[in-house]
Amino acid sequence: MGALYEMVKEAQATGKYETQVITTFEPKIKKSLYMTRAENRDDLEQELKIKIIHYVREYSMDRIPGLFDLE
């Protein structure tokens, strides 16, 4: 998990690791796409990758709760 956190943090600063974040989630994306029709898979895959990039760029790393914030 620490590696993903660092990749997102670096992607927000420089945009360098955005493709690696997508690559990290690609097995889950591919597995989830099997629940959709074959003719929709390519378009849906592109949309999911766009959403991941959007969330990487827009997510505030300051909003992550700490252990004692979860009480």
Question: Does the predicted TM-score (pTM) go above 0.85?
Answer: no
Domain ranges of the chain: 14-58
Between 62 and 3, the more confident residue is 3
Q: Where are the alpha helices (DSSP H) in 15-71?
A: 18-33, 41-58
Token couple for 29: 């994306």
How far is it, in rounded angstroms, from Cα 15 to Cα 35? 31
**What's the pLDDT tens digit per position in 16-40?**
788 888 898 999 999 999 999 999 9
Average pLDDT over residues 33-62: 90
Residues 6+ apart with CB under 8 A from 11: 17, 18, 20, 21, 56, 57
User: Looking at the predicted structure, is the pLDDT value of residue 1 above 70?
Assistant: no
